[in-house]
Each structure stands twice: as structure tokens, then as C-alpha cells.
Amino acid sequence: MEQSIYVTERLTILHLARLPIVLTNYNNGQSRTWKISASERKKIERILLANGHQRKVPFGEPVVVRITRVLGYKQGLWDSDSGLRGNAKQLVDSLVACGWFIDDSAKYITETRFGQFVPKVREELGSTIVEVLRVEQIQGAINDKTTEI
């Protein structure tokens, strides 16, 4: 009997932060000039620092960052490919500036994921949730009862 091989992943949350930052899906400064982008990054960094989101030691392993947009009143869902195009880059750059990562290269952040949802009460969650995840890839066979997942 032939067994089908599959790969899945196990996620471990290393850090979760609820941030009072509203994600935008417009291209704010990702053009020829860096001034607007730098201004947005510094603004987000100030918010992070004011809310105690500075790390003394960066994460010591490659991680996946999941950024979740928490929708507010009269906000609609975005297309899945719109979530990381606005000020999400400045958010990640601000996390680097606040000591979360040595830098935002693929050596330290292997992947950035985007999610969104409508909560029952927005104030309890903040506007953006950032999770730093350890991802282990697990390979197994669909029909193999001995494969531990």
C-alpha cells in the first residue's frame, strides 16, 4: 500500500503583543523617497515604546511573524494580499528598532503572515496583534498510524 507524504507545521508562540496601531493597506512611502516611510516608522516606534514593547534581547532563532488586523467599527475585510502592503513594513522595522530582532532579513524573520478578524469588542484586543512564532515542519504519511504529529 502506497502512503501519501505530507508536510505540516507545529506553531509555538514565543511572544504575543496587542498593539494600539491601526494597519493601513495603502502604500505609504514605499516609493523613491524614504521620508514618509521613516516618519511612519518613528511614529509606530514611539507607540511601541510608550506601551512597553521593547526587548532587551532579540529573539535568538529564526521566527515567523504573524500580524493580525483587528477590525473596528465600519471597517471591512481586505483582500488577503493587501495586508502587508501598507504600514506593516514600518511596523516590522519598528519592532527591529525596539530590539525584537537583530534585523528584518530572512535570517531572522523567515516569513511574515497576515490575518484579520472582527472581534466582539475591539477595545479589549487593540488594533493589531503581533505574534512571534517558532515553526517546526513535520513530515509524515497520511495513512501511517505511527507518525506522531
Domain edges within the chain? 5-141
Options 3.40.1560, 2.60.40, 3.30.1330, 3.40.50; CATH of 5-141: 3.30.1330
**pTM higher than 0.85 for the full model?**
no
CA distance 39 to 17: 22
Q: Are 49 and 21 in contact (CB under 8 A)?
A: no
Crossing angle (nearest 10°) for helices 35-50 and 88-97: 60
CA distance 93 to 110: 15
Q: Are 140 and 9 in contact (CB under 8 A)?
A: no
pLDDT 10s digit of each residue in the chain, 149 long? 566 777 778 889 999 999 999 888 875 545 555 667 788 899 999 999 999 999 999 999 999 999 999 988 778 889 888 888 889 999 999 999 999 999 999 999 999 999 998 887 766 666 999 999 998 877 665 555 665 55
